[in-house]
């Protein structure tokens, strides 16, 4: 049976837009107090105000997840305010336009790895000891279809980061299971979010319309969050029915 999130505290990175925003709204609507993190305080505040207008509880903790010291300090402030962290949604992510080996530079590689992989590690590390003490905790790592399957579309840096995130997720379950800690690697296919427009190839509106919506992925996050602590969804793959990867393979 799915459980209530009343009394739970959820920390969402990349919480100002896209999947993070939709997940924060869904978790708050189901009783969780949410902490919204990201680099842009204005969009985080807009999300917090939207949640508050619906009767939910939301707090803003502006943060660059690629800064390990800032992540640790933010976790400390959350604990001072809320006294616990039950759910971490590692959602902050980025990609670059330089997505092929003849264009990607060390600087662009580092830009992606620092956020998509290192940032997730810093946040997970910041909450794991808290969750051990609680003997309860859930980490949802928003990976990608590109974290489970190899694809040229997302580029080497993003694909490497998301594959690394899958390994990190598995290691959390291996070491955390005795302490009531579970991790879920959520692997969405194409989602129509602002990051889509950072692609080097412009997408037609009818193509975007067939993609997943942020709210679709948020529903998956909510489902995982409401499961009993005795249940671990190690990985979840969710894709658009009209999957461009499949369509390309079927093309004559």
Catalytic residues: 158
Which of 24, 12, 63 lies closest to 41, judged by CA?
Answer: 63
Q: DSSP states of the chain as a string?
A: -PPP-TT-EEEEETTTSHHHHHHHHHHHHTT-EEEEEES-HHHHHHHHHHHHHTT-EEEEEE--TT-HHHHHHHHHHHHHHHS---EEEE------S--STTT--HHHHHHHHIIIIIIHHHHHHHHHHHHHHHT-EEEEEE--HHHHS--STT-HHHHHHHHHHHHHHHHHHHHHGGGTEEEEEEEE--B-SGGGGGSSS---HHHHTTSBPHHHHHHHHHHHHTS-TT----EEEE--SS-HHHHHHH--
């Amino acid at each position: 049976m799915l459980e209530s999130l009343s009394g739970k505290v959820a920390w969402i990175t990349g919480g100002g837009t896209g999947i993070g925003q939709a997940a924060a709204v869904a978790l708050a609507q189901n009783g969780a107090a949410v902490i919204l993190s990201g680099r842009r305080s204005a969009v985080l505040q807009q999300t917090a105000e939207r949640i508050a207008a619906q009767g939910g509880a939301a707090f803003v903790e502006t943060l660059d997840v690629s800064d390990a010291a800032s992540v640790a300090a933010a976790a400390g402030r959350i604990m001072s305010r809320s006294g616990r962290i039950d759910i971490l949604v590692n959602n902050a992510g980025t990609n670059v336009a330089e997505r092929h080996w003849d264009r990607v530079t060390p600087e662009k590689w580092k830009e992606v790895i620092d956020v998509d992989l290192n940032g997730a590690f810093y946040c997970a590390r910041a909450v794991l000891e808290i969750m051990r003490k609680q003997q309860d905790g859930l980490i949802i790592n928003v990976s990608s279809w590109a974290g489970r399957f190899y694809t040229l579309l997302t580029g080497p840096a993003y694909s490497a980061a998301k594959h690394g995130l899958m390994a990190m997720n598995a290691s959390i379950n291996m070491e955390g299971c005795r302490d009531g800690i579970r991790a879920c690697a959520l692997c969405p296919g194409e989602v129509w979010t602002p990051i889509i427009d950072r692609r080097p190839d412009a997408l037609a509106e009818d193509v975007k319309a067939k993609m997943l919506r942020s709210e679709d992925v948020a529903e998956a996050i909510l489902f995982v969050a409401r499961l009993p602590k005795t249940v671990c969804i190690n990985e979840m793959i969710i894709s658009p029915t009209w999957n461009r990867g499949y369509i390309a393979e079927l093309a004559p």
